[in-house]
Amino acid sequence: MPSADLIWTIVGFVLTLLILSHIIGDNPLFRIVTYLFVGVASGAVAVIAIYQVIWPKLILPILRGDYLTIIPLVLSLLLVAKLFPRYSAAGNFTMAYLVGAGAAVAVGGAVMGTLISQSRALITPFDLSSAVQSGSPVMQIVEGAFILIGTLATLFYFQFSAKVQANQSVKRPAFVETAGKLGQGFIAVTFGALLAGVFGSAIAALVERLAFLLTAFRF
């Protein structure tokens, strides 16, 4: 009797081949597998959400006497009304709660986590004390300048405020236009690096799948 592992391995193997068949072209088997994937994925998410969120956070506290949990429970029931178009307006309160909380978290994280830190990182290379400790202060400063210029140029590239010129043409200021051009270069390089990284991940996935296919039945 084949073990369960073998069966699951075979299942994985077959599914892998069916998906890789898309290299040749779209086919019904590929579509079947994709629909299967969506169904399995949605089922898994539903199970995990019930087991990991709804039960321990909404139902279990009430059973334990934490009646303050009724508030999120009521909000959750209102959220279910979103499934019915006639009563979907009732779920707006829950959505507003989630949106408000998410906006606040995003604002706080953007400010405390990125803006301040990254801005500090822009000027840190110019700290001569730290530059001396690095062993190559010039390179540090040069790198710092390079990064600073690149960062600012990138930000200037996304600056689209312009003025109406005398000849009725809309143009950005010359400094902004020049910095934008420079930032365009930095963005191109960055996107190239990103694409290379995507290639790397995809190739890594290909390598892993081929390795799976090669080693699946090597017990």
Which residues 148-207 are close enough to bind another protein by CB under 8 A? 148-155, 157-158, 183-207
Shortest distance in whole angstroms from residue 91 CB to another protein: 8
Contacts of residue 185, Cβ cutoff 8 Å, sequence gap at least 6: 153
Show the site string, 94-133: x = touches another protein by CB under 8 A, - = not. Answer: xxxxxxxxxxxxxxxxxxxxxx-xxxxxx-x---------
Residue ranges of E strands in the chain:
163-164, 170-171
DSSP-assigned letters across all residues of 128-145: HHHHHHHS-HHHHHHHHH
Closest to another protein by CB, 41 vs 166, is 41
Name the residue nearer to another protein (CB basis): 104 or 128. Answer: 104
The single residue among 1, 3, 25, 161 that binds another protein, judged by CB under 8 A, is: 25
Q: Binding of another protein at residue 58 (CB under 8 A)?
A: yes
Which of 23, 138, 164, 166 is in the footprint of another protein by CB under 8 A? 23
Please name the helix (run of DSSP H) or strand (run of DSSP E) that holds residue 170, with its range, or none: strand 170-171
- 35 or 217, CB closer to another protein? 35
User: Residue with structure tokens 């909380």?
Assistant: 101
CB 16 within 8 A of CB 30: no
